[in-house]
Amino acid sequence: MKKLLLLMILLASQVGAKELPSWGMTESQYKMPNFVSKMQQIGSQAVSNDWLLKITAPKDWHSKIRMALSHRGEKNVQINFKDSLYKSITITATPGMALKSSNSQNQQPAVAKKQVVIEKPEMDTEIEAPEFENDFKADDILADMGEIELTIPSNGNAANEPVNATKKPTSEDDAVEKIVTKEESKLPQTAQFTVENSDKEALKENLRKRYARGKAVDKSISYDHITDQDDLYVADDVVLVKRYVNRGVAVYYWMKEAYDPNQHRLTEKGSGKYVKTVDATVQTGQSRPQSLSSQESDSDIKIENPASEVFNFVAVIDNQDVQDQLRRDFIRNKAVNNTLKASQLKSEDILYVSDKTVLVERPLGNSRSAYYWLEGDTTMQKSIEHKGAQKFVIQ
């Protein structure tokens, strides 16, 4: 009888116990606009019921989940995170500590307002104008001043001569004024060079922002070495050259010579783009084929390491979306927690590049690898082999 009674009490306690809820979300739900509002509702329930939320999610999602649950830190939500390699979220509510909510607003004591009336003193505002013994007029003063003498600058060629203020300008006066204006309008040769140089820099800046996506262009190439495969963009006498190295990877140059339509033959392709005419020749007294002459060596224009032209930027490590995409595409979404400088790269290191973010894979043998983010200047002297649209290998 006692055993039967104990069993009934145990069953009654299990039936009466309230089951705590749990939630699950996929990666698509995590990226939806209403993700924050859903998480805020869960966080509000947790605070009101003193729940501890145990969350299993990818490490790089933790910060966003915490901010959404706590209403950006306004609510004290009890949270316990666990890392996951799967792109999903699992939330389980468990009994937590009973936290007393504190009122964050300090009530200020009421201030009694009392109206104070200040009587305005009486002031005598009537002021009498002073009396003058003698009246005077402006015409009388001007009549006493007489004639005013002015002098015209003669640039040191003649002595200054007084001129009557009421005298009308003569042809000689006009000639002197024209000479002075002409002399003042002349700019020094250095000033003229500065103006022309600033205009050319403005043209280059406009071409660079419009057609090179704001990338730095610090290399130049002569007209003879431009091919009919290069894209050319012209503004006045400035030419921007775009050369594709491999699969959408492009490098940019400035044409060394000032563009002359009579000497440099280009064909317009539309939308501001030109290409070099296939049978174009350089007008230097005698025609010369587009290929290199016998006096020029291949090393004058050969790019020893075309892929290295891509690495002329400062690598960043704070673009979370690009980093997630690189990890998903190339290293099976593995975690990357360390960084490297360009000087620390070694032979056989593999670089994956996307939007100024570089993922480094260092093979360790036995199908194992270490992973890093490249940080800082990417300029390097080592030879690089281009293996794909985003993949490069240090030689």
Q: State how far the Cα of 26 lies from the Cα of 210, in Å rounded to an integer.
A: 40
In the numeric block, the tokens 């992973």 are attached to 371
Quote the DSSP letter at residue 79.
Answer: E
pLDDT value of residue 374: 94
Read off the amino acid at residue 107: Q
What are 67-83's pLDDT values in tens digits? Answer: 999 988 888 889 999 99
Q: What is the structure's pLDDT at 244?
A: 79
All residue ranges of the chain with pLDDT < 50 are 15-16, 101-106, 158-167, 176, 179-181, 183-185, 187-193, 280-304
Q: What is the pLDDT of residue 155?
A: 53
Q: What pLDDT is attached to residue 212?
A: 87
The pLDDT value given to residue 111: 55
Distance CA 324, CA 31 (A): 13
Q: Residue 188 carries which DSSP code? A: P
Domain spans in the chain, listed from the N-terminal domain onward: 17-95, 150-155+165-283, 307-394
Residue 308 three-state SS: helix
Chain segment 284-305, per-residue pLDDT in tens: 333 333 333 333 333 333 334 5
- Residue 293 confidence (pLDDT): 37
Q: What is the CATH number of domain 17-95?
A: 3.30.360
- Check residue 74 and give its pLDDT: 87
Give the 3-state secondary structure of 14-47.
Answer: HHHCCCCCEEEEEHHHHCCCCHHHHHHHHHHHHH
